[in-house]
Structure 1
């Protein structure tokens, strides 16, 4: 089955849209049962992980990948992103892990009783820039709690 450029663009848009409710819940309803059930459970990682696995399988077994794609060299990794499926797989990877980290930030902030308004920029930073938001959150913990710990 061959997908058109429009099909790949739609897939990209759907995958992006799929995580927005999770982020909205973390930002606007951090302590709700709905947030707990949807975002703090393994639901999002399992659903998005399934998309990732399907794309990976299509790349490996159905030829939905660029010639020379692989992980053994920088050229091979670059070739992964020469095919729209590789872009979708890579982007899904980012979305899954960023939301997982955002959910951890949300839970950790609640456990530490940090003011939610101070956590929101960290969540937005994680949503948009991954590790930047996490580092911002770790700095926030240091500033608000006057001690630094890498322990959960």
Structure 2
């Protein structure tokens, strides 16, 4: 399948998982588990795409080198490399978002306070996680995990 089409499908799939997390208070366990299933599906997709990239190493002088910025730039200079990296982000960020929802429930954090964290985890991964860690330890949390 065309990398651009796979990119679109992966984005829509991840978005479905994020929407489940956003409405999680309606059926928290079901929706968090469903979002995790989406995350696992993205992880499987990542693994298949990565295998495809690794199997073509050496063709046309292509090599994988994560030991320098130049090497990483070369890896992401190809659409297939960008797609693998993007699906990696989608899978991990969604998994972190699912953890945030579960942890917020344990801590008694109101879901409305979690929504900005989920948005920033979706858009900016580690920043959203840091925001969640700060908010989850604030007075908004009613009980400690």
TM-score bracket, shorter-length normalisation: 0.7 to 0.9
Count of aligned residue pairs for this structure pair: 141
* Alignment-derived partner of residue 21 in structure 1: 16
* Alignment-derived partner of residue 38 in structure 1: 34
Query: Could you tell me the TM-score, scaled by structure 2's length?
Result: 0.85
CA distance in 1, matches of 2:117, 2:25: 13
* Alignment-derived partner of residue 90 in structure 1: 85
Flag as ranges the 4+ runs of structure 1 deviating above 3 A: 62-66
- Quote the offset at 1:50 in angstroms: 1.1
- Quote the offset at 1:144 in angstroms: 2.0
- Quote the offset at 1:142 in angstroms: 2.5
* Alignment-derived partner of residue 117 in structure 2: 122
CA distance in 2, matches of 1:69, 1:109: 39
CA distance in 1, matches of 2:66, 2:101: 33
Q: Which runs of 5+ in 1 are unaligned?
A: none
CA distance in 1, matches of 2:124, 2:25: 20
Are residues 94 and 51 of structure 1, via their aligned partners in 2, closer, same or farther at CA, if it must alter by over 3 Å?
A: same
Matched, 1:61 2:55: yes
- Which range is displaced more, 89-98 or 21-30? 21-30
What RMSD, in angstroms, separates the aligned Cα atoms of the two structures? 2.3
- Which range is displaced more, 25-34 or 62-71? 62-71
More helix by share: 2
What's the secondary structure of 2:135's corresponding residue?
Answer: helix
Matched, 1:47 2:47: no
Query: Could you tell me the TM-score, scaled by structure 1's length?
Result: 0.82
Do the aligned partners of 2:110 and 2:140 also contact (CA within 8 Å) in 1? no
Q: Which runs of 5+ in 2 are unaligned?
A: none
